[in-house]
Structure 1
Amino acid sequence: MTGPAAALAHRLARDAEAVCRHYLSNGRREGRYWLVGDVENTPGRSLFVRLTGPQSGKGAAGKWTDAATGDHGDLLDLIAANQRLTTLRDTLDEARDFLRLPRPEPTPWTKAEPAPQGSPEAARRLWEITSPIAGTLAEAYLRNRGITDLRNCANLRFHPRCWYRPNEDDGPGTRDAWPTLIAAIRSGDGALTGVHRTWLSPDGDGKAPIATPRRAMGHLLGNGVRFGVADDVMAAGEGIETILSLRQVMPALPMIAGLSANHLAALLLPGSLRRLYLARDDDPAGRAAVETLATKARDSGIEVLTLDALLGDFNEDLRRLERDDLARAVAPQLAPDDVDRFLVMLGREAG
C-alpha cells in the first residue's frame, strides 16, 4: 500500500485503541490486543486487533485477524468492513473524518482474571476463538474417517493451535499445541457447558501422536455434543465419531454424543421424548451405560431400541462397508415408521 492510503493506515495504527473504541465499542482490551466478535462490532472474542507494535511488518500495530473467518487486514480494511463502504475514496474520507475527532482518553487496562482450568468459563473462552470446520484440518480428519456429510454440525469447530498439557505418558519434547477439532457440550436448553477437544496430526490424517488426544472440559454430567434438536425421537451414543457415522445414513435424526460411558449413562433426556435409540459400544462399560440409560428412559415411559454395529463400531462399519450396506444393517433395528422417516440410502430402498 502506498500514497494517501498508506499514510492514513499508519496514522490510524498509531491510535489503534481509539479506532477500536470508536468502531468496535462492544469489544475490550486484553494486553496488546483489542478483542471483539467480528468487524460489525458483535460482542465476542474471535477478532483480534493488535494495539502496539512496529509500523510495518510482522506484529505491526493496527493489523487484525478474525479467527472465525480467516479475514484479516489493516485498520482501513476494518473501517471499510465496519461501515460497509465499497470504495477506497469513501473509506479514506471516513478515516480522515475519524482522525479529526477528539481522541477519548484511553481507560487504564486491567488484565482479565484467568478462568479456572477446566471450567465452563474456560470452555466458553476457547469456543469463542474457534472457527467453522469447513476447509480445515478438522474436516479433513473427519473425511478420512468416512464422515463426509457435515450438515447441521454447528457444534463442531476448529482451532489451529489449541494448547495441550503433556503428561507423564508423553515423551520428552512433546509439542504443547496442535490443530484441534472442538465440539461444544450443551445442556438441553442449548447452553454451552463445556467443550471436547480432539487434537489432530498436522496433516489431518489422524489424531495427534500424544498420550491423551481427547479431553473434555467444563460440566459434562447430563449434557453432551448435540446434533439437531430432539423432539419425540432421538439417538444417543458415547463417541462423537460413532454418532457422526450414524448421521451419514440418518442425517435428520437428532443425536447426542455423551463422550464416555459414564456420561452417557447420566444423560438427561428431553421431556418430549417418546423413542430413544442407543448406539451400543461392544465393551463392558458401553453395555452397562446403555442398560443404565435404557432403564431410566423406560421408567419415564420412553420406548428404547438399541443399535449394534456389524463390526467393531459404527465408524468401522462406515469405513469398511458401503454406505448403503450400513443403512441396510441399521434398518431392521429401527421402528418401522422411522425407516421411511429417517433412513437415507444412495441406491435402493432399505426394504
Structure 2
Amino acid sequence: MPCDATELADRLAREAEAVCRHYLSNGRRVGSYWQVGDVRNTAGRSMFVRLSGVSGKRVVGKWTDAATGEHGDLLDIIRESCGLVDFREVAAEARRFLRLPRPEPDSKRQPRASATGSPESARRLFAISHPIKGTIVETYLHARGITVLPGNESLRFNPRCYYRPRPSEPSETYPAMIAAVTDLDGRITGVHRTYLNPEGFDRSANGKAPIDSPRRAMGHLLGHAVRFGIADDVMAAGEGIETILSLRCILPAMPMVAALSAAHLAAILFAVGLRRLYIVRDRDSAGDGALERLAARARTNGIEAIPLSPRCEDFNEDLRKFGKDALRESLRLQLAPEDVARFVKR
C-alpha cells in the first residue's frame, strides 16, 4: 500500500490532470502540460506541469515555474496550494484525493524494487560519484568566487551523468556536481544534479552545461536539504547551493542547508535544539514568500528567525561583485552580536 513520498508521487502521476484540475483550478491544459501562474494556484502562464510522458521515468507530474525557477512534483503542488507544512498533512491530503486508506504499519509492507528517480536511485548515484577535489566541480565553484570549501562531503562529482532532454529522446551525458539531499538523521533522500560545461567555465551560462535544464533533482526533497555541517543551536538556510557556499566562505563554522528552491526552503524541517535560524533570502518574489512562510513556522516552534539579505540578487552575486571583505562586513551587520564573535571568519 503506498505510504511514502515516492509511492504517493507515483500514484498521483497516474492522475496528473485530475490533480491539476483539482488543486490548480485557475489553470488550463495546453497540449501535454497544465499551465497556471504558480504552484499556489495563481492565475497565469509561467508554471507548467507535465501531463503525459514516460511515467516510469517520473516525468509525468513534474513541474517548473519559468518565472521563479521553482520545480517539484505533485506532492509539492498539494502542499503549496493547500497551505500545508507538515509532510504527514500533505500525505494525508494526497491519500484523501486518491481515496486510499491509511498506511499499514511498516511490518506489513512488502519490499519493492526501487524506481528510477526514487531515493534508492539517488543513493546509488551519490555512491558511484567521486570527491570534488581536483575536478571540474571545484573549477566551477572557484570560478564563481567560492574558494573556501569546508565540510563539502555533501558534494560529489560524476564525470558522465545521464541527462535526457525529453522522454522520447536519447540520453546524453555531462559532467555534473552531485549534491546529497538528506533528512535530519543524515540519510540520503534525494540528490540534486548541476550539469557542467565539459569545455570549461562559460560566463554566459555561469559554467553550466549548454542544455535547457542544467539543474535537476530526484528523490524525496520535501522537508529535506543539502547540508553543510551539523545543525545545533544556530543554523542558516537558503535556496541555492552556490548561495550557501558563498556564505560558507565567510562563516565556515556555521551549519547551513540549501533547500534548492523557494518552495522547499519554506518547508525545511527543524532540528531539535535549534534556537536561531538565519534565513538566507534571494531578492525576488519567490524568495520573499519563502522568507515569510519559513519565519512564521520558526516563530511558531519557538525559534528566532533572522533574515540575511544580499545587496544584489543573491549572495553569490554579492561575493563575485564586491569580494569577501565586503561580504564579511555586510554579514557582520546582520548577524546577532554573539554570532559575530562565534562564526565570522577573521
Aligning the two structures, in what range does the TM-score lie when normalised by the shorter sequence? 0.5 to 0.7
Q: Name structure 2 gaps, 5 residues minimum.
A: 1-111, 202-206
CA distance in 2, matches of 1:177, 1:166: 11
The letter for the 2-side match of 1:146 is G
Normalised by the length of structure 1, the TM-score is: 0.64
User: Does structure 1 residue 275 correspond to structure 2 residue 309?
Assistant: no
* Partners of 1:250 and 1:343 within 8 A in 2: yes
- Residue 167 of structure 1 and its aligned partner are, at CA, apart by 2.8
Aligned Cα RMSD in Å?
1.7
CA distance in 1, matches of 2:307, 2:343: 16
- Residue 203 of structure 1 and its aligned partner are, at CA, apart by 3.0
* Partners of 1:167 and 1:211 within 8 A in 2: no
* Partners of 2:150 and 2:248 within 8 A in 1: no
CA distance in 1, matches of 2:197, 2:182: 26
CA distance in 2, matches of 1:204, 1:134: 16
In structure 2, which of residues 167, 174, 177 is the aligned counterpart of residue 178 of structure 1?
A: 174
* Partners of 1:138 and 1:204 within 8 A in 2: no
Task: State the percentage of identical aligned residues.
Answer: 57
- Residue 120 of structure 1 and its aligned partner are, at CA, apart by 0.4
- Residue 175 of structure 1 and its aligned partner are, at CA, apart by 6.8
* Partners of 1:137 and 1:203 within 8 A in 2: no
Q: Which has the higher contact order (CA 8 A, sep 6+)?
A: 2
* Partners of 2:231 and 2:274 within 8 A in 1: yes
Alignment of 1:72-111 (within 5 A): none
Query: Who wins on radius of gyration, i.e. which is larger?
Result: 1
CA distance in 2, matches of 1:167, 1:141: 26
The letter for the 2-side match of 1:176 is E
Q: Name structure 1 gaps, 5 residues minimum.
A: 1-112, 346-351
CA distance in 2, matches of 1:269, 1:316: 28
- Residue 222 of structure 1 and its aligned partner are, at CA, apart by 0.5
CA distance in 2, matches of 1:327, 1:271: 29
Runs of 4+ in 1 over 4 A off after TM superposition: none
In structure 1, which of residues 190, 202, 213 is the aligned counterpart of residue 198 of structure 2?
A: 202
Report the 3-state secondary structure (helix = DSSP H, G, I; strand = E; otherwise coil) of the residue aligned with 2:253. coil
CA distance in 1, matches of 2:240, 2:272: 23
Alignment of 1:299-338 (within 5 A): 299-338=300-339
Number of aligned residue pairs: give it: 230
CA distance in 2, matches of 1:175, 1:126: 16
* Partners of 1:180 and 1:198 within 8 A in 2: yes
Normalised by the length of structure 2, the TM-score is: 0.64
Structure 1 residues 184-203: Cα deviation after superposition (integer angstroms, max 9, x where no partner): 00000000101000000003
Relative to 1, partners in 2 of residues 1:126 and 1:253: Cα closer, same or farther, differing over 3 Å? same
Structure 1 residues 79-117: Cα deviation after superposition (integer angstroms, max 9, x where no partner): xxxxxxxxxxxxxxxxxxxxxxxxxxxxxxxxxx97412
Relative to 1, partners in 2 of residues 1:295 and 1:146: Cα closer, same or farther, differing over 3 Å? same
Structure 1 residues 245-279: Cα deviation after superposition (integer angstroms, max 9, x where no partner): 01110000000000011111110011200100001
Relative to 1, partners in 2 of residues 1:137 and 1:114: Cα closer, same or farther, differing over 3 Å? farther
Q: Which residue of 2 aligns with 1:344?
A: 345
Q: Which residue of 2 aligns with 1:221?
A: 222
Q: Which residue of 2 aligns with 1:257?
A: 258
The letter for the 2-side match of 1:125 is R
Q: Which residue of 2 aligns with 1:143?
A: 142
CA distance in 1, matches of 2:114, 2:219: 11
Structure 1 residues 222-262: Cα deviation after superposition (integer angstroms, max 9, x where no partner): 10000000000000001001100011100000000000111
* Partners of 1:253 and 1:342 within 8 A in 2: yes
